[in-house]
Structure 1
């Protein structure tokens, strides 16, 4: 026994010494690449000519080539959009050879080339995802909607067509242009902004205006290890615009159907010649009507950013996003019909809203302070804090009764009567809300080697406090049984029961019907180990999360959990990688049950495999992934209580399974394509007898809130040369089949399949671009909705999308 132990010890020492010997006698090459104006050149390829030694510059323009055999080499730069540079260097054993490059190209030149080459494809995630690895090598499905995609498709807000660019993302239950609420992989995914989870309630946050958005990252599967607690189905991370150090500007105007007018400005530059003190300012103003009468959504946005380079290694960034919206009350876009009639029984432009109701006003403030410090080219510290303030003053609308049938509005016989087919009692309720979030993050990224094994480490802490309160306890019937609203002969004059007169003078905290809060603290660590010259990568991570939840309806609840993560990625060749990942999630859930108990945190596991491939020198890429997500305690609306009460139940266990295909990039010169498809299936796998008997939900039932088949495509062609250079055309479509409604009560009629066709023309010079798009070209009656069992014998409600409509925009760059 002792001899065996001694043998093992000697073998271990011999192995470690051999690793040391392997590492001896080798040199290192490092340096920095700068553009004209001394700006760092990111994503530039460096190579020792005729060898396997390569590197790519980071966001600071720094590069490093390790474990190089001593000798003479020719180091070369040969990246897209720059002139090739070659110089001789000498690598000495156990020493670092430093070689810096100063390129004549400007960032504007490189940006122009990159947009032409890969206008819809991005190879690296933002720093707010905290990763140091190219997307091709990350063992997870991450899809990025680029800035150019947003411009070409004339997307103006987060709820305005963004999801067509990502496989499996849908909005089956719309909240107009107020809340985005995206479903993916069978559940609503979490909303993030610059790496912060900005969800404080089911209804928020206010959908982001695209004027201050650079790009959007969709992370599929759990991502709590790198951001904060998140749903196992995934998240989207809105990355805002930051200063580039290049003095430039852009002004855009946009006009379209239904009195849509919009103007935006983007100013980018520096306060000093050295480029240490930078600024960026984005602003927009929008007036927007609807295809439904009396409906509007007007807003303006201001988003200044300041950054200051304290030294070559340290930078501070201060940012503010302010969004201010005045819009028709929540629910104004819904139409209702009786259970015997079904969906889509009224014209596409029909409305039940009452003109003259006060606007719903929403003020969304967010501020960020970020500190970044590079200890050297391998180690970086990032600390950031943010404050989010959300204020909402307004109404929501929903019917009290829908004919035909007898009704008793006051449940005391006073307002008893009978409604004929098409007659409705409209109701409006107050919805004043306030949300406060204080969030903080500190993390370290590092790189080092242990012998032939490379390490990319990430470690940090997250802290946060979120509070939300709302008054939805005051309501008023606009109509009476004797004088109801008639869908067949609508009268939009003064309502029979008069306008509401709600108490809005009492402080919100004293009249709030729901007060929710959560506090959390978490620590995490991750190591990405690279073997065989980083061809094989093993990711090991773990996170500890502590959460405390409070509610005005129940006692505080405290819980904690450790969530592990294991990922494996193998580069079959430089352009092809296969991966597998196992990870877990732990997420607090706001809300309460009908007996006043707080919702337990959601836990879940994700198993996923995938293949990523870059084609034709990286000009376009494909991702194919398959997954199985198992969730415990996921909350869902209580089928035995009206949604207005806000009661929820916890499913014992559900499983979501499916596969996804994404393609994006340049196919040939001038031709760019985004295409995707997803198959999703989500079912209840375990449920307690008590909940099953109380709700009627049983094992094997379909969990509502997704579409089984989702397919999208967007094809854009711009003439690259000749007399027609700059002219472009686009066409795109969305197809949904097997749509599941957002409620357990499906009714007798299912949502039909959905197909929408869009297209457009454009012309672009160096400074001016004109874009014209037509949406819903086929003029289809498009809608989403659900069945609602809590009015009479049940009603169908739906929200129509605009019929055929257009937008024309002009952008001027200076």
Structure 2
């Protein structure tokens, strides 16, 4: 309890000066002033729009109601300029009179101007249907104009569901499945039959080989399909797509929230969110999000505790130049989750549910924890070159380290015994991503073009200093008195373990361009291309001093798309071709070097946004074909050949609806059919293991009272279901994971100054496993209380 108290005190001490800073911004008004409201073409307020008085070089930003105010202005005639990226600047002539505040409102003539910067359009009827993104295409492109499919989980849904980790947030993404936790807290999901990680942060590399606290998330974007053209393989490291974490940005105003969560297995969590302008003009803004969490496992052993701090700073330097800087820092200590790897050498067809593997046992102790530290730094500079062109410079630095004990449980030949595998030592990962984008929105004749041209440099550096050991055999069916392997036993085996002491790294140099060409007002064509040069610097063995495995590869990645809006801004049909690739090292028996492995996707579907955003949805069919896959050479087992192929095809559907006031519905369905077409004989024609269920469903329905004495009272109910899947699937061994249906329910009461809620996850205590055979927690109760200021 003392460590929890210390973390709470630390968060409070950090927030107190910020609160004082926000309150110190009050001042008296002299002279005159000007105030007004900026709205979109459809009348919705626009936040963070730059408003400047040219003669005085004095600026401010609109607040979350689209309002602005400039005070302490000497009487006289001035030019007021309204400007944001992606829209033409607008100048107004006005006269300031002493002691009076002039009013000047403005409604932008173009609807989709928010897509070049984080200008938030507020007031949408369906609070869960926010589909516009500055990151998916890097262009001012609406969802209905984009030939790529993506899902967005906004903070409003995250808050209503009391989703306290990335795994819980991903429940709202069609096809994500049960999240797979790695031993250091890192989480991965399924997407179109492939493992997909949350490697992107604000559209660029932001991987973390540790747990990622969602306290600073504005939303999560699941971008579907091979996406190497704009993101590269370092970010889009899956043919299924990528997950992009969009962080909360500072806003124009003082406010925030303090919340506490408590629940089953000694769950305790405290979060803070404080925002304040830094200067009187409100062009410098600061926001701090922080959280500290402690939780015991539902199993006989296991715990996690962490602290996360995420400051953000924005500065509208001039009416054309803006700076955004934000940081993620996280530190955690915990024990590895159970990962069970049954022995596949025994020919059998068995379900994990029938193996008598204990659901609530960890087999290792709390005295073998790991510690992680994560630091991600993101800086972005936007400069409006002209009415039609914008420069965007981004630098992202991500660092993660792991120290301590990382464990897995390996089955021994037979059906009843296992031996823990433990890695002890230190590992560090450092990645740097530098991007320069030039974004244009212009016409050639009568034809509109939206074009991004970019350069991308990515450096990755890893270091390992650890030893792997295999622990004693444990019978997990006939449990004895002592079931958990001790730290003393593992430490005594370290001198006989297998060391890994090495450094490795790589560099990627890329250039890309993507143009959306309006053939007509309703018909758009997208043409994109990336050239990527990869340099693997090899593996440096610290013991021998020898570096091996260096190689270079160059790859082209195209992307094509067509969109036709059947009803402008309401209904569109689309088709696209997208590409992904992975660099492969080595050569075949004849000495021919391998080329990059490739995945090509064809997709077509329908997108709708009707009844004033009350019904928003997407239905699509995709077909991904992977070629140049390495497989064992049938003529020489010591080599590989590069002629393997794989197919993944399926149907996805997503829907958010607000049919009546107070009622919100989120639902999704994903069907995936994956198969090895040409491969090693052991898996030929089979569904790949770890690809997840063929069919998955997700839904969430909530209703809150909007009138009467109980206004603000609400209820939520939802769930996730999946068909059976495979942990191992070969011609001789099939280890299946049973189908599941996990249901959640909540009740909440929300007012302007506070919010209380109670949530039950896995209401029926359904027994379910991830693809790595990690048992999922039974029913968990969590209560929360939040104060807003």
TM-score bin, normalised by smaller chain: 0.7 to 0.9
Give the 3-state SS of the residue equivalent to 2:736 in structure 1.
coil
Query: Where does residue 208 of structure 1 map in the other structure?
Result: 212
Displacement, 1:585? 2.0
C-alpha separation in 1, matches of 2:408 and 2:591? 25
Query: Where does residue 449 of structure 1 map in the other structure?
Result: 443
Query: Where does residue 255 of structure 1 map in the other structure?
Result: 262
C-alpha separation in 2, matches of 1:620 and 1:366? 37
Displacement, 1:466? 0.5
C-alpha separation in 2, matches of 1:501 and 1:221? 47
Is this contact kept in 2: 1:267–1:282, CA < 8 A? yes
Q: Deviations over 1:293-324 (max 9, x none)?
A: 22011111011111222101101122211111
**Residue 120, structure 1, aligned to residue 128, structure 2:** yes
Give the 3-state SS of the residue equivalent to 1:706 in structure 2.
coil
Displacement, 1:632? 2.1
Give the 3-state SS of the residue equivalent to 1:498 in structure 2.
helix
Displacement, 1:628? 0.8
Query: Where does residue 528 of structure 1 map in the other structure?
Result: 516
C-alpha separation in 2, matches of 1:497 and 1:526? 58
Match of 2:577 among 582, 585, 589: 582
Give the 3-state SS of the residue equivalent to 1:162 in structure 2.
helix
1:322 to 1:349, Cα distance in 2 relative to 1, 3 A: same
C-alpha separation in 2, matches of 1:605 and 1:587? 12
C-alpha separation in 2, matches of 1:96 and 1:430? 58
Is this contact kept in 2: 1:452–1:531, CA < 8 A? no
C-alpha separation in 2, matches of 1:548 and 1:811? 49
Query: Where does residue 218 of structure 1 map in the other structure?
Result: 222
Query: Where does residue 469 of structure 2 map in the other structure?
Result: 475
Q: Deviations over 1:617-656 (max 9, x none)?
A: 12220100111111124579999xxxxxxx9996711111
**Residue 686, structure 1, aligned to residue 678, structure 2:** yes
C-alpha separation in 2, matches of 1:588 and 1:170? 27
Displacement, 1:802? 1.1
C-alpha separation in 2, matches of 1:288 and 1:590? 42
Q: Deviations over 1:457-496 (max 9, x none)?
A: 111111011122334543152x36xx87775234157749
Is this contact kept in 2: 1:548–1:558, CA < 8 A? yes
Query: Where does residue 647 of structure 2 map in the other structure?
Result: 655
**Residue 810, structure 1, aligned to residue 779, structure 2:** no
Match of 1:549 among 519, 533, 536: 536
Query: Where does residue 397 of structure 2 map in the other structure?
Result: 387
Query: Where does residue 416 of structure 1 map in the other structure?
Result: none
Match of 2:372 among 350, 362, 380: 362
1:259 to 1:98, Cα distance in 2 relative to 1, 3 A: same
C-alpha separation in 1, matches of 2:701 and 2:248? 26
Is this contact kept in 1: 2:179–2:187, CA < 8 A? no
Is this contact kept in 2: 1:291–1:349, CA < 8 A? no
Query: Where does residue 800 of structure 1 map in the other structure?
Result: 775
Displacement, 1:181? 1.6
1:520 to 1:749, Cα distance in 2 relative to 1, 3 A: closer
Q: Deviations over 1:143-188 (max 9, x none)?
A: 11101111111122222x2222111222474436712122211212
Query: Where does residue 143 of structure 2 map in the other structure?
Result: 135
Match of 2:600 among 600, 605, 613: 605
After TM superposition, list the pairs within 5 Å mapping 1:615-630 onto structure 2: 615-630=610-625
1:165 to 1:427, Cα distance in 2 relative to 1, 3 A: closer
1:98 to 1:305, Cα distance in 2 relative to 1, 3 A: closer
Is this contact kept in 2: 1:360–1:392, CA < 8 A? yes
Match of 1:195 among 203, 206, 209: 203
Displacement, 1:373? 0.7
Give the 3-state SS of the residue equivalent to 2:215 in structure 1.
helix
After TM superposition, list the pairs within 5 Å mapping 1:413-492 onto structure 2: 422-430=416-424, 432-477=426-471, 479=472, 487-492=478-483
Is this contact kept in 2: 1:476–1:500, CA < 8 A? no
1:753 to 1:637, Cα distance in 2 relative to 1, 3 A: farther
Q: Deviations over 1:238-279 (max 9, x none)?
A: 011111122111111111111111001011111111011111
Is this contact kept in 2: 1:293–1:349, CA < 8 A? no
Displacement, 1:358? 2.9
Query: Where does residue 59 of structure 2 map in the other structure?
Result: none
Query: Where does residue 769 of structure 1 map in the other structure?
Result: 755
Displacement, 1:370? 1.3
Give the 3-state SS of the residue equivalent to 1:757 in structure 2.
strand
Please give the TM-score of this superposition, normalised by the length of structure 2.
0.79
Is this contact kept in 1: 2:648–2:672, CA < 8 A? yes
C-alpha separation in 1, matches of 2:633 and 2:359? 32
**Residue 562, structure 1, aligned to residue 547, structure 2:** no
1:238 to 1:703, Cα distance in 2 relative to 1, 3 A: same
Please give the TM-score of this superposition, normalised by the length of structure 1.
0.76
C-alpha separation in 1, matches of 2:240 and 2:65? 38
Match of 1:144 among 152, 163, 166: 152
Is this contact kept in 2: 1:485–1:491, CA < 8 A? no
Is this contact kept in 2: 1:422–1:486, CA < 8 A? yes
1:292 to 1:599, Cα distance in 2 relative to 1, 3 A: farther
Is this contact kept in 2: 1:43–1:59, CA < 8 A? no
C-alpha separation in 1, matches of 2:585 and 2:205? 14
Query: Where does residue 668 of structure 1 map in the other structure?
Result: 660
C-alpha separation in 2, matches of 1:380 and 1:744? 52
**Residue 739, structure 1, aligned to residue 725, structure 2:** yes
Match of 1:45 among 42, 45, 53: 42
How many aligned positions are there? Answer: 685
Match of 1:319 among 311, 314, 326: 326
Give the 3-state SS of the residue equivalent to 1:225 in structure 2.
helix
Is this contact kept in 2: 1:373–1:382, CA < 8 A? yes
Query: Where does residue 288 of structure 1 map in the other structure?
Result: 295
C-alpha separation in 1, matches of 2:732 and 2:185? 25
1:121 to 1:39, Cα distance in 2 relative to 1, 3 A: farther
Query: Where does residue 70 of structure 2 map in the other structure?
Result: none
Displacement, 1:355? 2.0
C-alpha separation in 2, matches of 1:104 and 1:537? 29
C-alpha separation in 2, matches of 1:740 and 1:219? 25
Query: Where does residue 85 of structure 2 map in the other structure?
Result: none
Give the 3-state SS of the residue equivalent to 2:157 in structure 1.
helix
Gaps (5+ residues) in structure 2?
1-32, 52-63, 68-87, 94-102, 108-118, 540-546
**Residue 539, structure 1, aligned to residue 526, structure 2:** yes
Gaps (5+ residues) in structure 1?
1-35, 47-54, 63-79, 84-94, 405-420, 640-646, 787-797
C-alpha separation in 2, matches of 1:599 and 1:208? 35
C-alpha separation in 2, matches of 1:279 and 1:401? 51
Give the 3-state SS of the residue equivalent to 1:383 in structure 2.
strand
Out of 656-665 and 177-186, give the one that drifted further: 177-186
